[in-house]
Amino acid sequence: MLLGDAIVTFFKRQLQPPRKKFFSRLGSWWDKGIALLALANLILVLFDLSYIPLRDFWLQGKVQLFLKIGPLEREFPDPPLRILPFRVSDWYDWVKGIEPHRDTKQYLQLVKELNQKISQVALPTLNSPRQNPNRVEAETVDRILKELRDRSAEMVDTNPFLIANKTGTLERIKNKIRERVFGTKNVSSKEAFYRFWNREYLREKGFRQELNFFDREIKPLIETNYYRPVGENGEPVDNFGLLDFPFFLVFLFDFLVRTFSIGRRHTGVSWFDAMLWRWYDVFLLIPLFRWLRVIPVTIRLNQAGLIDLHAIQKQARQGFVANIAEDITEVVVVQIIDQLQSTIRQGEIANLLSRQNVRKYIDLNQVNETTEIIKLAMNTIVYQVLPKIRPDLEALLQYNIRKAIAQSPAYESIRLLPGLERLQTNLTEQLTKQIYQGFWKAMTVLLKEDPAFDKLLERSIANFSQIVRSEFQAEHSLEKIETLLIDLLEEIKINYIQRLSQEDIEKILEQTRAIRQVTQTSK
């Protein structure tokens, strides 16, 4: 039984790491897949948002710039440059509810029918239809031309391009007809259309040549017109929600799974808190402001390791810090100075000197820290500092003693006696050693544990503090000091805080980056 348990435990231990590795790899691939799917959805959203403004391109697959500077008008390139070999609009118009405009569609249908009839009828028949057996077809051509003249006048009057917000296209059509017929734009567009769709004009200029001009220059502009019905909500018909709904289901499933996992993995985090944790994913679920999906898409691509935004994040954080550091620095320093001024105005200095604090002083360890600090400093000086600088101190003492002896009037009268200089040197050295030894012994005696000395020291410190407080309070010295301190702090705010706030934040950030780099390198 024990052997069987050992075998089962062994196999569990062997299988557990591969299992964890498998689920970790599966989670990584899921993150990458969802990130790429979100990217595809974002591209579709951006395409949908740009479809109406760029529909002329998706319709014809051509690129041509129309430039107008005052009276100067140019189209570049001429002819238009074809980019797409097919019409995207044939597949996507239904998403935006776009339909061919009835009037312009019938207009182009008439032109197409006219082209077919002209191809069937010989030119002599068009010149003299009553003396030719094909006069029926020639009369049909005349009927089509008359209808085109009528529809052209109606198009100018009613402007069927208005619904699609393409009135500018109609103006380009009228200008092209004017220049083609009369060579100028300062004429009536109705008259230009009337003359263009006239058999005499077409016979004079050439039927095929003029119709080729229409197919090349006018027809593409008329084709761009469309009709978009309005729904019951008062907005143009838009079926993009049908395309977006499958993405919505996938993103909703992923959002619920992730938030549930966060709630289970972290203690004290509710499901609602987990949803707030993944707040940016909400933009993938709402049908409004779809362009905001760029936020979760960017975050997901970075989390999945498909793009690296650490450098951008670092620069963005530094830029944010650089923008607010100046204001924060100024606010913090000014607040500190204001607090100091308020403290002085409230009489805290007087309370400190008079020991008349409103709040009772709290002693945490029943130790007089001031006395202990003084004793610790003296102990360090006597046992650590003085032995190391003893030669320097003795040399200093010897110099002062020699100087004092040399300046003595008695020494001036006997300094010429034999052996006196040697005596002076020996005397100086002995005095120096005795003075140093006496001072050092006195200090060591003071540092020995002596309760009476401790009391005397505490009393001396207390008396010194009391005398200082009394002297400062006399003759209104304290009030003068407080006033001067408040004025000094105010001058610091005016003269130096602005300079501090205008420090080169980029230099500070550069120093911070250098320190961080050194720290990371040393790890």
Collect all residues with Cβ–Cβ distance below 8 Å to 244 and sequence separation of at least 6.
41, 44, 45, 287, 290
Amino acid identity of residue 124, one-letter, is: P
CA-to-CA dists, residue 144 to 147, 157, 223, angstroms: 5, 20, 19
Q: Residue-wise pLDDT tens for the chain (523 aa)?
A: 444 444 445 444 544 555 566 667 777 898 899 999 999 999 999 999 999 999 999 998 888 777 777 667 777 777 788 888 888 988 999 999 999 999 999 999 999 999 888 877 655 555 555 545 456 677 788 899 999 999 999 999 999 999 899 999 999 999 999 999 998 888 999 999 999 999 889 988 888 899 999 999 999 999 999 999 988 888 889 999 999 999 999 999 999 988 888 888 877 778 788 888 888 899 999 988 999 999 999 999 988 888 888 777 676 666 666 666 666 666 666 767 777 777 777 766 666 555 544 455 565 666 666 667 777 777 777 777 777 777 877 777 777 777 666 666 655 555 555 555 566 666 677 777 777 777 777 667 666 666 766 677 677 767 766 666 666 565 456 677 777 777 777 777 676 665 555 555 556 666 666 766 676 676 5
DSSP H/E element including 416: none
Residue 244 confidence (pLDDT): 94
* pTM beyond 0.85, yes or no: no
Residue 4 confidence (pLDDT): 44
Alpha carbons 211 and 202: distance in angstroms, whole number: 9
Q: Are 144 and 110 in contact (CB under 8 A)?
A: yes
Residue 2 confidence (pLDDT): 42
Instruction: Tell me the H-state helices in 121-206.
Output: 123-127, 135-158, 167-181, 189-196, 199-205
Collect all residues with Cβ–Cβ distance below 8 Å to 309 and sequence separation of at least 6.
298, 302
For residue 80, whether the previous peptide bond is cis, meaning omega lies within 30 degrees of 0, is no
Residue 17, CA atoms < 13 Å, CB-side half-sphere:
3
